[in-house]
Amino acid sequence: MFKTLFTETFGVEHPIVCGGMTGLGTAELISAVAEAGALGFLTALTQPTPEALAKEIARTQTMTDKPFGVNLTILPTIKPVPYDEYRAVIIESGVKIVETAGSSPAPHLPDFKAGGVRVIHKAVAVRHAIKAQSLGVDAISIDGFECAGHPGEDDIGGLVLIPAAAAQLHIPIIASGGIATGAGLVAALALGAHAVNMGTRFMATTEAPIHENVKNQIVANTERDTVIVFRQFHNSARVARNEISEEISDIASRPGATFGDVAQLASGVRGRERVLGAGDMSDGMWWASQAQGLIDGVDTCANVVDTIMRSAHDIITDRLPSIVV
């Protein structure tokens, strides 16, 4: 058992997090993560309405009595999102941990603080992490360039980003991006983090609410099977390599290309329905990190967490001491 600033602050058994993943952060996966002793996040906007989120929180609470949180991703959208209503549901449902991402969490912090909710903010750069700390968040999840989703435009990998953040922050740090093993956990702790965040590793679990083809593809893929898209639009995103993501990359690289030229191919609904839902691995864009190259099988959340913790313990107590002379 490891004791870190993260485990002590958030009352979680293990320093492992399953951050918010759109379409995946539902009760089945997140309750299993919680039962395994890690911290998982339901995704608020996976639910179509605040009322639906309230029901999903209640459903999760019937499946575990261990800590879990809710991710609230704050982004500009064509159709306005009732963020205030989602926030109110989180507080009224008794959830005590929130993960914010996207835009600044500042407008939401007063209500969360008044409701006794601790806030973890996702950042992709040290300067953004410092700003969030100054606003009063309780922890930072720092995303290295290896991560799935949006790694920012600076292209800083975890080996540099994590200790750079640790040198500037005094609140718990969760290292994210390319982590899927006990060795990754040990490395992150050595670099100054207090926990690790894993998304792709938790996708390849029996409880993940996605098609088996996706899980098997993650296992089959290597660390080279991702593509950075949308760089030309200053919204870089790491996704799994397939026919669609390569086509998006090709179209976007043409002179004068706009997001409208790839919008239909890049549709999140298309990826969730055709790939994650139906298992057609070539008919939509889907998210995965370079950690694919470290995942060798689909297993339960309990076994994934247990294997990582046992491996980390063995590395710290056996392998590392043996090289000190």
Could you tell me the residue range of the domain that residue 68 belongs to? Answer: 5-209+296-322
Q: How many domains does the chain have?
A: 2
Task: Say what the pLDDT of residue 302 is.
Answer: 98
CA 3/CA 13 separation, integer angstroms:
8
Q: What are the DSSP calls for 237-260, one per residue?
A: EEEE-SHHHHHHHHHHTSTT--GG
CA 195/CA 42 separation, integer angstroms:
19
CA 40/CA 21 separation, integer angstroms:
10
Report yes or no on 140 lying in a domain. Answer: yes
Nearest-Å Rg of the Cα atoms of the chain is 19
Residues 17-26: what's their mean pLDDT? 95
Q: What are the DSSP calls for 23-78, one per residue?
A: TT-SHHHHHHHHHTTSEEEEEGGGSSSHHHHHHHHHHHHHH--S--EEEEEE---S
Percent of the chain whose pLDDT exceeds 90: 95
Report yes or no on 181 lying in a domain. Answer: yes
Report yes or no on 214 lying in a domain. Answer: no
Under 8 Å between Cβ of 56 and 24:
no
Report yes or no on 59 lying in a domain. Answer: yes
Task: Say what the pLDDT of residue 79 is.
Answer: 80
Q: What is the pTM of this model?
A: 0.95
**180 and 253 assigned to the same domain:** no
Residue 114 CA neighbour count, 13 Å, CB half: 8
Residues 290-308: what's their mean pLDDT? 98
**42 and 150 assigned to the same domain:** yes
pLDDT, tens digit, 9 for 90 and up, residues 173-218: 999 999 999 999 999 999 999 999 999 999 999 999 999 999 999 9
CA 149/CA 22 separation, integer angstroms:
10
- The SS3 call for residue 161 is helix
